[in-house]
Amino acid sequence: MAFLDFQGQVVLITGASSGIGAAAAVGFAEAGATVALHYHQNEEGVRHTANAVGTAGGTASIHQADLSVPESAGGLVDEVLARHGRIDVLINNAGDLVKRGPVVDLPDEEFRRIMDVNLTSVFAMSRRIVPVLRAQGGGAIVNVTSIAGRHGGGGGSVVYATSKGAVSTFTRGLAKELAPDGIRVNALSPGVIRTPFHERHTAEEQLDAMVASIPMGRTGAPRECVGTILYLASDAMSSYVTGQIIEVNGGQLMP
């Protein structure tokens, strides 16, 4: 049995311009999938991802949407369906810390933005994809949460951590709701992964402090998350796995 064979399947990855989303796109392409790449603002990055997918022997399409606006999820899914005819796997990867800062200094609009980028986007995409997967007889949703959702986040990231904790809870609840439909819902929970996320939001001394708490003594790379994502998306490998949050963090957290 070819455990990581996604031939004939279409995988939609949100936030595919860089980091974990981009690495996952290449991984799925190497396993035979057609990959629909979503981006919000980083068009140059998503085109780089599409080129990498092509180099891996895969086929990619590019789709733009601001998923912090719930209504945009429908347009994105409709566009992918019009292009490819089906969607078998949804990877809810899009998200961002937005801005570090103490809770007392966080304006209402920034609170809402953080929650919308990280949680509302997952809700809206999942709500829209469920009828598609039901009509096809099943499928898989893989959300990307964070170690922050368990330990409350690093300095100045309480609301981000809250949004990711909610993604983990949403994952478990949706898994129960959709199990009768043959739709599995799981999540990857990365630790400290070297991506543009930390380049934007984490000072080097703060990153060093994080690394000091990791038994493996280093940050992770986006490619080190790909195996877990493919495992959770593969019916051949994880057909009896749903509602699980898989930690990939170098031993920083062992729940």
| Domains of the chain as residue ranges with CATH | 10-248 (3.40.50.720)
Q: What is the reported pLDDT for 4?
A: 83
Distance in angstroms (rounded) separating the CA atoms of residues 213 and 225: 19
Q: Which of 6, 90, 94, 19 is nearest to 56 (CA)?
A: 6
* Composition of the chain by helix, strand, coil, percent to 5: 50, 15, 35
**Cα–Cα distance measured from residue 191 to residue 45, given in angstroms and rounded to the nearest whole number:** 23
The residues of the chain scoring below 50 in pLDDT are: 1
Rg of the chain (C-alpha set): 17
Active site amino acids: 160
In angstroms, rounded to a whole number, what is the distance separating the alpha carbons of residues 18 and 140?
A: 22
Q: How many CB atoms lie within 10 A of CB 212?
A: 8
- The strand order across the sheet containing 139-144 reads 59-64, 34-39, 10-13, 89-92, 139-144, 183-190, 245-248
Tokens for 118? 């990280």
Query: How far apart are alpha carbons 13 and 63 in whole angstroms?
Result: 10
Q: pTM for this one?
A: 0.95
**Would you state the pLDDT for residue 1?**
44
pLDDT at 99: 85
Q: How far apart are CA 253 and CA 192, in angstroms?
A: 11
C-alpha–C-alpha distance, residues 181 and 92, integer Å: 19
Q: What is the token pair recorded at 215?
A: 């038994």
